[in-house]
Amino acid sequence: MGKEQAGQVRDTAAVRSMLRDAGYSEKAVNYYLETPHLGIIDNPDQVSEMTGTCGDTIKVYLKIEKDRIQDVKYQIMGCPGSISAAMAAGDLVRDKTVDDALALNDGDVFNFLEEIPVKKHHCIQLAVKALLSAIQTYRDGNGGDSVVKAGIPTGHGRNRTGKDDRLGCCGAPKGEGDCETAGTCCGKTISLAPKN
């Protein structure tokens, strides 16, 4: 499936069928199609942008009041995996304190989405990394806008080479990351198949 901007007109039934066949859970497909956190926040407390090694970009808007995440919105130029993961991550941190939100990890999102193709797990990593970077920047008191390019230092994106095999898709050493719990990545051989 080619890269597309979320929200454009689509044949929903056909997209749902294709994504289900590709290994996305019903929940993940719903997040991709319904995009509950897509958009921008007026007068945000933090805006951060991150681009992964695959070239996909996630811009995060945060509204934070009394140390709690009141709202999360995204502008995303990315694949179904990154969009569904970002939406799920938004739900997982909303109403949490900043510190609790920073405890979110890739495994939380993977488990919450229930099923996502193995070769798309780096998309979860990008979504979580972009969100946590925005929250951390806010907490550090930097505020304003921040932009990070190639936010995945050693992920399983299209640019990955065999040299990166030391790390799992969660960014932790293989066998030590959260995705080992999910039984998906760590300690296993991950396909280097090109992006869909």
**Nearer Cβ to ligand FES (87/123):** 123
Is residue 117 a contact residue for ligand FES (CB under 6 A)? no
The runs of H, that is alpha helices, within the chain are: 12-22, 26-34, 80-93, 98-101, 106-113, 121-139, 178-182
Work out how close the CB of 52 gets to ligand FES at its nearest, in angstroms, rounded to a whole number. Answer: 5
For 9, half-sphere exposure in the C-beta direction (CA atoms, 13 angstrom radius) is: 0
Work out how close the CB of 123 gets to ligand FES at its nearest, in angstroms, rounded to a whole number. Answer: 3
Size of the site for ligand FES (CB under 6 A): 12
Bridge partners for 49 per DSSP: 59, 147
The one among 123, 128, 179, 186 contacting ligand FES by CB under 6 A: 123
Residues 47-66 that bind ligand FES (CB under 6 A): 52, 54, 56
CB-based burial of residue 4 (10 Å sphere; 0-12 exposed, 13-18 middle, 19+ buried)?
middle
The one among 87, 126, 130, 185 contacting ligand FES by CB under 6 A: 126
Q: Which amino acid makes up residue 98? A: V
The one among 28, 35, 74, 81 contacting ligand FES by CB under 6 A: 81
